Amino acid sequence: MLEARHTMDAPTTTSADNGTSGENGTNDGGGWFSPRKRGAAGPATPHTEGRATGEDGEGRIASPSRPVAAIRPVGTGADRASATQSRGVPGPAERNASEARAPLAGAPYAPMPPAPAPEAAAHQSAAPISPAHPTAYEQDINASPDAILVRRTMAEIGPVADKVTSYFYALLFVRHPDLRAMFPAAMDTQRDRLLKALLTAAEHMDNTAVLVDYLRHLGRGHRKYGTQPAHYPAVGEALIGALSRYATTTWNHETEAAWVRTYTTISQVMIDAAAENERHAPAWWHAEVVSHDLRTPDIAVITVRPDQPYPFLAGQYTSLETPWWPRIWRHYSFAGAPRSDGLLSFHVKAVPAGWVSNALVHHARPGDVLRLGPPAGSMTVDHTTDSGLLCLGGGTGIAPIKALVEDVAEHGERRPVEVFYGARSDHDLYDIDTMLRLQQSHPWLHVRPVVDGRAQLPDAVREYGPWNEYDAYLSGPIGMIRSGVDALRGIGIPFDRIRHDSLEDLVAAAD
């Protein structure tokens, strides 16, 4: 079962380095937002509204009607330091904070290009917004100017998100056709994940602590896709092109500059995190299937042996790729605490039309080799406290809950652990015997199966307690998590003591 508080899918790949930068896939040293030169044939093809494929009237991809603002090319931290010194430009530590306000205020990354001078800004027409009806972001006195502009754009494109997504990929693949190989053959599996990740990061640009952690995780995770620094400019170029096409009322030079600064910072955090991670961890691990236990017709417990040590914490998850569907990765939680023999187990339920889950349940056999991305997730036990654990696991969501129980046991703690194991039927309590054996071995553990039709999981949780001294953990179907969170908040458990799978990622990685 997936456990993912901070995960968003991105371009998937098995390639190593087929990146491009600049115009027409060349790395000519020009900035990726540098003005484009028009060919001898004349001006860029005008846009044709409403074409989700991003094509013009003659079947060609329409180019932006004008170039976007120039920015510095991105690279690793070492690249930036070398470049700034060679140009005689002060490094980040030497810049005066008044030069520009980066979207991630306080983050130790390259400062963004300065905002337009007042005289230049005077010639830019901002979209009219009535003072009598300010947006929610404008009512937030802590929102940065860039955040207001970025979120205003996002509010406008919301109703046409599908068209924005289609146009984004059309621009990306036409301008950089070599990047198409980094994505799954069937783009319906990719859907809007990459663009959604970018927009999610942009929307939370003022929440520095959370966003930087999220972006660092993304940057490390993107290594398994073969993502290189040169790929980020191409994605940013397509992002700006798609936004400028569909944000017809809010887009202007000022808004464009805000998006350029925001995306530059986002990409730089990710690039730096990947470069740092590369020094001590592989991009992926090969893992051989050593056992395949079919518990029910559609649920399997799969155990694999990584080709090298795989460090992780109980409650975390990984991304997994099968040989049957290259470049398609799905997230699964570890079904146990770290073991001395290095083996890893996962609980997988085959879902309708689920490519990866069906391959793992119905086709995987001992000897098959899978690929694992790096571990991630924060649904872990804080061993510096003695708070009890209140765990709600539904279906294969019992996998990370089992790992948490084993983790507490291995630390020799006797803190109370209460597990509510929810299922639609007795048949779906596929791992109840394992949980009951753990209960017999540890007097501090109580396991309570809850089957639909006889009881509802939130009602069962309310019946016991009180839970004032407990930290809550939830893992399972999206509906169970929503109702579980409501129930826990209703009985007084503070939000910051409730940890659960990301609802967005549960939807995105459902198969």
Structure tokens at 88: 């005689």
Closest CA to 73 of 124, 38, 21: 21
The pLDDT confidence band at residue 502, using thresholds 50, 70 and 90, is: low
The 3-state secondary structure of 344-378 reads EEEEEECCCCCHHHHHHHHCCCCCCEEEECCCECC
Distance CA 506, CA 511 (A): 9
Q: Is the pLDDT score of 480 beyond 90?
A: no
Q: Could you tell me which residues come within 8 angstroms of residue 141 by beta carbon, excluding any fewer than 6 positions away?
A: none
pLDDT digits (tens, 9 = 90+) for 400-425: 999 999 999 999 878 999 999 999 88
Closest CA to 208 of 254, 256, 144: 144
* Residue 94 per-residue DSSP state: G
pLDDT digits (tens, 9 = 90+) for 107-138: 333 333 333 333 333 333 333 323 333 344 44
Using DSSP's 3-state secondary structure scheme, residue 228 falls into coil
Integer angstrom CA distances of residue 161 from 154, 158, 169, 245, 399:
9, 5, 13, 12, 35
Q: What is the pLDDT of residue 189?
A: 57
Q: Is the pLDDT score of 285 beyond 60?
A: yes
Q: What is the mean pLDDT of residues 7-24?
A: 28
Amino acid at 457: L
* Average pLDDT score, the chain: 74
Helix (H), strand (E) at residue 58:
none
Distance CA 316, CA 380 (A): 7
Query: What's the CA dihedral at 466, 471, 475, 481 to 10 degrees?
Result: 60
Q: Is 56 exposed, middle or buried (0-12, 13-18, 19+ CB in 10 A)?
A: middle
Most confident by average pLDDT, 185-199, 276-290, 484-498 = 276-290
125: number of Cβ within 10 Å: 9
Q: Is the pLDDT score of 55 beyond 80?
A: no
pLDDT digits (tens, 9 = 90+) for 22-35: 233 333 333 333 22
Distance CA 65, CA 262 (A): 22
Q: Is the dihedral of CA 212, 214, 217, 222 positive or negative?
A: negative
The pLDDT confidence band at residue 191, using thresholds 50, 70 and 90, is: low
Helix (H), strand (E) at residue 32:
none
Q: Which residue has the higher pLDDT, 115 or 80?
A: 80
Q: What is the pLDDT of residue 410?
A: 94
Q: Is the pLDDT score of 293 beyond 90?
A: yes
